[in-house]
């Protein structure tokens, strides 16, 4: 059973004008997984597990817009999945630690056994849900 409580912590490497609320175990864990809840963010992590890369390299490999890649990197960095370093005019991104690789590997292993269930789950992909049929109206 996951039981954790997070207190507001000053992060000099990521200053924020916002006061972070205290989060409980299940809510914090759900927030953690929402950070991974986008295919582009997963692909960025997969690429960064292989080697560190610049935004330009990621844009090229993802065939995506620079602004979109930067937004996803900001999310991943803020959540602690990736970190960066500056070298001249380039900023290089890399995963924070080996736990990120283990997390991606665990997801891939889970999908080896449950690919069909996840693929067909309509609750997690609302755009695939059939439109609800409202109550039938009586005509008089």
> The pTM is what?
0.73
- Evaluate whether 100 touches 81 at the Cβ level (below 8 Å): yes
pLDDT tens figures, 65-124 = 999 999 999 999 999 999 999 999 999 999 999 999 999 999 999 999 999 998 888 887
Rounded CA-CA distance 118/67 in Å is 30
Per DSSP, what are the bridge partners of residue 86? Answer: 91
pLDDT per position as a tens digit, 118-137:
888 888 776 654 555 555 55
Dump pLDDT digits (tens) for 6-52: 444 555 566 565 656 667 789 889 889 999 999 999 999 999 999 99
Q: What pLDDT, on the 0 to 100 scale, is given for residue 24? A: 79
Distance of CA 15 to the CA centre of its chain: 21
* Alpha-carbon gap, residue 31 to 21, rounded angstroms: 13
- Residue 74: the pLDDT is 95
């Amino acid at each position: 059973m996951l039981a954790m409580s997070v207190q507001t912590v000053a992060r000099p490497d990521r200053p924020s004008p916002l006061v972070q609320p205290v989060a409980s175990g299940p809510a914090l864990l759900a927030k953690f997984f929402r950070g991974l809840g986008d295919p582009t963010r997963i692909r960025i992590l997969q690429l960064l597990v292989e080697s560190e890369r610049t935004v330009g390299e990621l844009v090229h490999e993802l065939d995506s817009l620079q602004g979109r890649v930067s937004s996803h990197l900001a999310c991943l960095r803020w959540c602690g999945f990736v970190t960066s370093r500056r070298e001249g005019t380039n900023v290089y991104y890399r995963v924070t630690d080996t736990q990120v690789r283990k997390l991606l590997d665990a997801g891939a292993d889970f999908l080896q056994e449950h690919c069909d269930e996840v693929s067909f789950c309509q609750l997690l992909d609302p755009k695939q849900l059939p439109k609800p049929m409202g109550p039938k109206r009586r005509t008089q």
